[in-house]
Amino acid sequence: MSQLQVNQSHVSTFQPTTTEGRALTVQKLLRMGFLAVTLLLLIPAGAILAVLVFEGAPGMSWDFLTTPPRQGGAAGGISTALVGTVWLTATALGLALPLGVAAAIYLSEYARDNWLTRTINVAIVNLAGVPSIVHALFGVGAFVYFLQFGKSILAAGSTLAVMTLPVVIVSTRESLQAVPQSFRDACWNMGATRWQTIWRIVLPNSGSGILTGLILVVCRAVGETAPIMFTGAVFLRQMYPNSLDDKCMALSLHLYNVSTQVQDVPDHIPFTVALTLVMVVMSMNSVAIYFRMKLRGKKKW
Amino acid sequence: MVTSPAQTGPAGSRVSATNVDTLLAIRNLTISYGDKVALKDVTLDVKRNDIFGIIGPANAGKTSFLRSLNRMDEFVHTMKVDGDIQFAGRDLTTVRNLYALRRMIGVVFPLPVGLPLSIYNNVALAPRLAGRVKKADLDVIVERCLRRAALWDEVKDRLNSLGSLLSGGQQQRLTIARALSQEPQLLLLDEFSIAVDPVTTMRIEEVLKELKNEMTIILVTNLVQQARRLANRTAFFLGGSCIEINETEKLFSGGATDQRTVDYLEGRFG
């Protein structure tokens, strides 16, 4: 106790000086400011969801999801659009996964740091910035006409894949780079080839990260309208697609149509379509989150 | 690679071939990364079943030296190796199958590298890469290597747990066990005791003393006394040059000829 009292004479040392006081005030204000901005971001997200649920939920039903649209979407459901979106997404994913991962493996594990690699990296970054409508025109020229896929799921899926590839490559490369270099060194010193190292050590430890990134990227593609409207998605189709050569409907394009192109659409239908689209994206996101949690839970080094 | 004319005789006759006891004959080795020279004009021999110590402060070129021995310049694109390295009488530049070469050379790093595999798979990895897949064979190899690295008793009941989650000292012994699983002729140890507690260090040192009956060891260390305890011969590297090489005992008992070596051994710098 006496010790404490003795020490009290030093307490004045901890009184903030003017400079310290100012620094503390600034720090407090900034913290509040940053918090406010962060909370502001929640408003649009929350508002969008609230409006969609409020306006769209009453129209949502099993029937709506499982019957094809009629009268240009003014009546009936959205089943063919929903299924079409799944086809398009799966095609895009199926193409972007092997190509993107292969390119990322090359860039991360094999490429030397020379002008070619640097050029490729710049190209990837620039490609990621190309507007989707430009990708759409490229898709028409390259896939529909030049490769003669015709207007089809294959052409639309390929266009979506090309559009998402740069982002897939970047996110995959980051997952690969997250595996410590010392693991590669250890393997090489044991007489492993680059591929043996990649196959046994690098990929098993970056797989979940790659998959997470991939899903996040592809769900952005789900909502894209421009790249598919000239390459494979159609205004109305009451049959489910049977093959990659078929045309199909898509939720994003259908939403555009029922909102602006078709007359006499009941007020709730665009909202219900939008709600469905958001739910598709969110369910894919939750798969990605699941993978990420699994990845975090299993700390391996 | 440039071979110094002074060191090579007529075609076919090689420096090291004259002496079967020499595992490594190195002549005029120069290593550079871009414009930066890491090691300059090093010439030395390493005898079979010796522990060859290399001491010296940071940036002396010790690690680069080790890297050149198993041709890691293949993976480090900027690394350039000049000079003549003969391993078991074979000029390293003529070796096409670098993977076989690296299997003959085990490496232990400054910081332990437990691969994110099970303890068992860590040790079984090198034999598997070499094509040995029979479970019974692997079981034998894994147990033998872990025993020799003085780790078996601590991990024998949990061979399936992750090697990368062992403690630092255990991981370093796991790294040694992994290096031994290659049945190397040459074991390179790069400051292995940096992240290891003193007790584990002493245990590993005991292991090394036994291992030298079966293989040649190059021990890079920043602990001068460790070189004294273990090495038959010791080289002192400084700033990318090899200053002095001698029998360890001579070096430590006043036989050092270069003032810089004397200063370093007495702890006046570095």
B145 contacts chain A (CB < 8 A): no
Q: Is B113 on the interface with A (CB under 8 A)?
A: yes
Closest Cα partner for A129 from A96, A92, A104, A166? A166
Give the residues of chain A that fall short of pLDDT 70.
1-12, 296-299
Instruction: Please report where in the chains the tokens 């060859």 appear, as a residue.
Output: B52
* Residue B44 touches chain A, beta carbons under 8 Å: no
What one-character DSSP code corresponds to residue A248?
B
Distance of CA A297 to the CA centre of its chain: 22
Tell me the nearest-neighbour CA distance from A189 into chain B, angstroms.
Answer: 6
Residue of chain A minimizing CA distance to B109: A186
Closest CA to A252 of A230, A228, A216: A228
Q: Do A190 and B103 touch (CB under 8 A)?
A: yes
Asked if B182 and A187 come within 8 Å (Cβ–Cβ), the reply is: no
* pTM (two decimals): 0.81
Q: What is the pLDDT of residue A3?
A: 52
Residue from A108, A189, A194 whose CB has the most chain B CBs within 10 Å, to mutate? A189
Question: Do residues B165 and B114 touch, judged by C-beta distance below 8 A?
Answer: yes
Q: What is the pLDDT of residues B164-195, one digit of tens each?
A: 888 888 899 999 999 999 889 999 999 988 88
- Which of B96, B103, B108, B113 would best serve as a mutation to test chain A binding (most A beta carbons within 10 A)? B113
Question: Do the Cβ atoms of A300 and B164 come within 8 Å?
Answer: yes
Taking only the tens place, the pLDDT of each residue in A126-144 is 988 889 899 999 999 999 8
Give residues with Cβ within 8 angstroms of B88, minimum separation 6. B23, B104, B185
Interface test with B, best of A107, A187, A190, A193 (most B CBs within 10 A): A190
Q: Which helix (H) or strand (E) holds B31?
A: strand B22-33
Task: Tell whether B262 lies on the interface with A, counting CB pairs under 8 A.
Answer: no
What's the distance, Cα to Cα, between the start and end of chain B in Å?
32
Tokens encoding A231 = 């390459």
Is the Cβ of B115 closer than 8 Å to some Cβ of chain A?
A: yes
Measured between alpha carbons, how far is B264 from B260 in angstroms, rounded to an integer? 6
* Separation of CA B251 from chain center: 21
In this complex, how many residue pairs, one in chain A and one in chain B, have their CB atoms less than 8 Å apart?
71
The phi and psi torsions of B185 (rounded to 5 degrees) equal -85, -25
Q: Which two tokens stand for residue A92?
A: 């895009």
Chain A residues touching residue B105 (CB < 8 angstroms)? 189
Residue-wise DSSP of B236-264: EEETTEEEEEEEHHHIIIII--SHHHHHH
Distance CA A63, CA A79 (A): 9
- Looking at residue B216, its pLDDT comes to 93
Give the ipTM. Answer: 0.83
Residue B18 reports pLDDT greater than 60 = no
CB within 8 Å: B75 and A188 = yes
- Return the closest-CA partner of residue A254 out of A92, A57, A72, A132: A72
Per DSSP, chain A holds a count of helices (H) and strands (E) of: 13, 2
- 3-state SS of A219-239? HHHHCCCHHHHCCCECCCCCC
pLDDT tens-digit readout, B118-160: 999 999 999 998 888 899 999 999 999 999 888 999 998 999 9
CA distance B208 to B192: 11
Residue B45: CB atoms within 10 Å: 19
User: B26: which strand partners?
Assistant: B44, B85
Residues of B (154-193) whose Cβ lies below 8 Å from A: 162, 164-165, 175, 178-179, 182
* Residue located via tokens 């270069």: B258
Q: Which residues on A lie below 8 Å from B165 (Cβ)?
A: 299-301
Q: Do A189 and B72 touch (CB under 8 A)?
A: yes
**Which H or E run contains A24?**
helix A18-56
H/E stretch holding B187 reads: strand B186-190
Evaluate whether B243 touches B237 at the Cβ level (below 8 Å): yes
Residues B39-51 have pLDDT tens digits of 999 999 999 999 9
Q: Which token pair is A168?
A: 């897939």
Cβ–Cβ under 8 Å, residues B201 and B219: no
